[in-house]
Homo-oligomer: A and B are copies of this chain.
């Protein structure tokens, strides 16, 4: 498919509008008509450029660049964790929570969408975490055979979702910071 007729700015604007619609009404209720109207495009153009809704949504998810944990290195695991939370952005977390809600059912039935969501929201976090944990093991802060090591991403993703389900609030920096000190670091024996 030739995508060359769109400028990068126009493409970014279009993908942003698709993600906004996903957050607002959820995947199933997003129609190509609504996307065309919101982005002032013709439906024919959308179909010609992307082929269909799953392809367009997956591409929009992939276009949104996540915050990387790669650069964080404070010299201690506690310091790294708290730097991670300090670098997070409450607004961005609200937007990611809305995306996860909007996609939860659809991804289960659509492997391509699921792959895009994992690539955007899950894997960069998991890879960044692994690096940070590996350094903590090398420094001797955490024993290499500590069972909780393989569940750190579960604890963090879980905290994010559980806050909503149990307390009806989005996770924010204050909550995540307290959760790190109360749960994640003690589970790792730090």
Q: A28-B29, A154-B166, A157-B161 are in contact. List 9 more A-B contacts (CB 8 A).
A: A26-B28, A118-B168, A147-B178, A147-B186, A154-B159, A154-B162, A154-B179, A183-B183, A187-B187
Residues of A within 8 A of B (CB): 25-26, 28-29, 98, 100-102, 104-106, 108, 114, 118, 122, 126, 147-148, 150-151, 153-155, 157-163, 165-166, 168, 178-179, 181-184, 186-187, 189
User: Contacting A165 at CB < 8 Å: which of B98, B106, B150, B157?
Assistant: B157
Q: Is the CB of A155 within 8 A of B183?
A: yes
Q: Which of B100, B105, B148, B154 contacts A158 (CB 8 A)?
A: B154
Copies of this polypeptide in the complex? 2
Is A189 a contact partner of B187 (Cβ separation < 8 A)? Answer: no
B contact residues around A158 at 8 Å (CB): 154-155, 157-162
**A148–B118 CA distance with the chains assembled, in angstroms:** 28
Q: Which residues of B sit under 8 angstroms from A101, Cβ to Cβ?
A: 104-105, 108
A122 to B167: give the CA distance in the assembly, Å.
10
CA–CA, A159 and B106, complex, Å: 21
- Could you tell me the distance in whole angstroms from the C-beta of A65 to the nearest C-beta in chain B? 20
Interface centre among A126, A157, A162 (most CB of B within 10 A): A162
Residue of A182, A184, A189 ringed by the most chain B CB atoms within 10 A: A182
Whether B157 pairs with A166 at a CB distance below 8 angstroms is: yes
- A126 neighbours in B (Cβ, 8 Å): 166
Task: Flag if B187 contacts A182 (CB, 8 Å).
Answer: yes
